Amino acid sequence: MAGMKTASGDYIDSSWELQVFVGEEDPEAESVTLRVTGESHIGGVLLKIVEKINRKQDWSDHAIWWEQKRQWLLQTHWTLDKYGILADARLFFGPQHRPVILRLPNRRALRLRASFSQPLFQAVAAICRLISIRHPEELSLLRAPEKKEKKKKDKEPEEEVYDLSKVVLAGGVAPALFRGMPAHFSDSAQTEACYHMLSRPQPPPDPLLLQRLPRPSSLSDKTQLHSRWLDSSRCLMQQGVKAGDVLWLRFKYYSFFDLDPKTDPVRLTQLYEQARWDLLLEEIDCTEEEMMVFAALQYHINKLSQSGEVGEPAGTDPGLDDLDAALSNLEVKLEGSAPTDVLDSLTTIPELKDHLRIFRPRKLTLKGYRQHWVVFKETTLSYYKNQDEAPGDPIQQLNLKGCEVVPDVNVSGQKFCIKLLVPSPEGMSEIYLRCQDEQQYAHWMAGCRLASKGRTMADSSYASEVQAILAFLSLQRTGGGGLGNHPQGPDASAEGLNPYGLVAPRFQRKFKAKQLTPRILEAHQNVAQLSLAEAQLRFIQAWQSLPDFGISYVMVRFKGSRKDEILGIANNRLIRIDLAVGDVVKTWRFSNMRQWNVNWDIRQVAIEFDEHINVAFSCVSASCRIVHEYIGGYIFLSTRERARGEELDEDLFLQLTGGHEAF
């Protein structure tokens, strides 16, 4: 027992005084002074501290942080000597879990308690367990970028910060589901709202904000982001993160394992959000056509999530054709006496007949729209001079199967046209149908769309298609009707379609809103039947199909080269890219890689590939740790393919990504 002294008050053992500050690293924190010897165990010291403080409190999360060595004293059976602690050590007795504000992939802020003492890899795993994202190894934390001096601070609206810091998760197993969400979210209305924020896509951003946010203008700009990744093998405390700091949570490794819409609502949503922001902020390039598809998907996803239609939409099974419908019908009426009417409904396919104005663009004609009697039956459109001639031969008959249907609509101008590009053996024939009003347009349009897919109006999706078109038109009237050349405020995007919130600023500059709207609308028709999860998945897939997908850029200087170049790190390869032109110079695949080494002193990464190809480079924009961790991380992720399972081989990860020896 340390602290034995003589009557005169001299200490007779080799004990000394150890000062320990209580609380987080605050120089003015209260301190307790203990008498210890070198043989004192950390556990004993902890006990003494608590006794000294003499306050009733749960101290179980507290541990000692040694400031000079930047190290937690977590081994309670180790002695002070073993740690090498002397009287001059500045020790802090503080909580291991501290609140941080996480900036999620969907750009929302979430306060929660993160472990400051475990390696980041474990801390992220715990965070992900809390917000129910599977496969935490794909994510990591970044430091928030340093904020530039804000001139008009008061104008910044106060942002809502969701709070999960009170929620404690029973360790180990994945939390059970309760009321459609992990049980720990269903405690209060507040946490429930938090779960909805996590699992449901956010509305499109304000186009003005979008234009203001920084966007990379060159490859070297894209390298900036990657310099901010935190080390996976060290704890937050060691990396200088303080309680209350803002950290970004992002998918770091673009190799998404076993993405499952059913079990991964949060993961899917956050991934979708990250992809969406990638595209909106031009972190990744896409073409006009691709952007329209992305915009249409965003619009669709937003519509579904706003309407609360999170589950699978009912009755839109495309496989359910008229016959199947009749079959289920018939089975219901199995005991019924009159099967004939069922068969009637089975054989009669609804048709559309009306006066429409038709225009056929031809060379050397000045003729405009002309009124015709048009009959739309099954997938065939026939038109006659007038209604009386209908039983006879039509002027023309077009089978719309396989045709292209393009809406040409201007709600404010009361123009409802359908442009059809009908393939025929001779080529494509173009024809325009002009409808009088929205109702007529919606019905004919829906019919045309189904017919182009080879389905008739008897198809079960016809009614919903009509409704979708009407809904879209009304959106254009409210939101898009007054669309000018200037983007609108955030309130406009809530009800109407503001196309500027859905496309990258590059396209905002290129197109007027009223040009964008029909194009998005056109792309939307292909995705209108998707459920929320399907649409998100489709969005992610389209994002993954972009040629530049999943490449993290780092500025490096290759050995023997005099200029900086870009190293692209993807999940299967390294790419050497010319900084100025952006051309790919060389690609090396991980599958051919023998080994890689880091020389921490000269900050150089050396990689050996098959056939004695050696590459070495020093890292310029980011520390070579980050490059090393990226490579090791991807190697690690490729190993999990074989051993399927949720269990993570953390040691392997740290072995591949860590640089223990170097520290």
- The residues of the shown chain that bind other proteins, judged by CB under 8 A, are 256, 259, 285, 287-290, 293, 323, 326-327, 330-331, 334, 339-340, 343, 346, 402, 404, 423-428, 537, 540-542, 544-547, 572, 582, 584-587, 589, 591-592, 611, 641
Tell me how far, at minimum, the Cβ of 354 lies from other proteins, in Å: 27
* Closer residue to other proteins in complex, CB, 350/423: 423
- What is the 3-class SS of 183-232, one letter each residue? HHHCCCHHHHHHHHHHHCCCCCCCHHHHHHCCCCCCHHHHHHHHCCECCC
Measured between its terminal Cα atoms, the distance across the chain in Å is 35
* Closer residue to other proteins in complex, CB, 316/399: 399
Tell me how far, at minimum, the Cβ of 428 lies from other proteins, in Å: 5
* Closer residue to other proteins in complex, CB, 329/371: 329
The token duo for 396 is: 């023309």
Tell me how far, at minimum, the Cβ of 556 lies from other proteins, in Å: 17
Tell me how far, at minimum, the Cβ of 544 lies from other proteins, in Å: 4
DSSP letter assigned to residue 476: I
Tell me how far, at minimum, the Cβ of 482 lies from other proteins, in Å: 30
* Closer residue to other proteins in complex, CB, 122/263: 263
* Closer residue to other proteins in complex, CB, 29/346: 346
The rounded distance, in Å, linking the Cα atoms of 661 and 599 is 11
* Closer residue to other proteins in complex, CB, 494/580: 580
* Closer residue to other proteins in complex, CB, 161/343: 343
CA distances from 132 to 135, 185, 275 (A): 10, 10, 19
The rounded distance, in Å, linking the Cα atoms of 369 and 535 is 38
* Closer residue to other proteins in complex, CB, 58/611: 611
* Closer residue to other proteins in complex, CB, 64/593: 593
Chain length of the chain: 663
Taken in order 194, 200, 206, 207, is the CA torsion positive or negative?
Answer: positive
Judged on CB neighbours under 10 Å (0-12, 13-18, 19+), 156 is exposed
What letter represents residue 125's amino acid? Answer: A
* Closer residue to other proteins in complex, CB, 331/661: 331
Tell me how far, at minimum, the Cβ of 449 lies from other proteins, in Å: 14
Residue 144: strand, helix, or coil: coil
Of 607, 616, 656, 606, whose CA–CA distance to 632 is shortest? 656
Tell me how far, at minimum, the Cβ of 445 lies from other proteins, in Å: 18
CB 237 within 8 A of CB 72: yes
The rounded distance, in Å, linking the Cα atoms of 141 and 463 is 47
Tell me how far, at minimum, the Cβ of 233 lies from other proteins, in Å: 27
The token duo for 534 is: 């399907």
Tell me how far, at minimum, the Cβ of 490 lies from other proteins, in Å: 29
* Closer residue to other proteins in complex, CB, 392/427: 427
The pairing of beta strand 62-66 with beta strand 91-95: antiparallel
Burial 210-234 (b: 16+ CB within 10 A, else e): beeeebbeebbebbebbbbbbbbbb
* Closer residue to other proteins in complex, CB, 218/307: 218
Tell me how far, at minimum, the Cβ of 614 lies from other proteins, in Å: 14
Burial 464-487 (b: 16+ CB within 10 A, else e): bbbebbbebbebbeebbbebeeeb
Of 71, 159, 479, whose CA–CA distance to 299 is shortest? 479
Q: What angle do CA 74, 76, 77 make, to 5 degrees?
A: 135
357 sits in which H/E element: strand 351-359
Tell me how far, at minimum, the Cβ of 541 lies from other proteins, in Å: 4
For every residue of 271-332, DSSP letters joined together read HHHHHHHHHHTTSS---HHHHHHHHHHHHHHHHHHHTT--SPPTT--TT--HHHHHHHHHHH
Tell me how far, at minimum, the Cβ of 611 lies from other proteins, in Å: 8
Q: What angle do CA 474, 478, 483 make, to 5 degrees?
A: 120
Tell me how far, at minimum, the Cβ of 507 lies from other proteins, in Å: 12
Tell me how far, at minimum, the Cβ of 299 lies from other proteins, in Å: 18
Tell me how far, at minimum, the Cβ of 646 lies from other proteins, in Å: 18
* Closer residue to other proteins in complex, CB, 371/587: 587
The rounded distance, in Å, linking the Cα atoms of 193 and 189 is 6
What letter represents residue 168's amino acid? Answer: V
CB 556 within 8 A of CB 565: yes
Q: What are the residues facing 3 on neighbouring strands? A: none
The structure tokens 């194009």 sit at 519
* Closer residue to other proteins in complex, CB, 319/425: 425
* Closer residue to other proteins in complex, CB, 26/341: 341
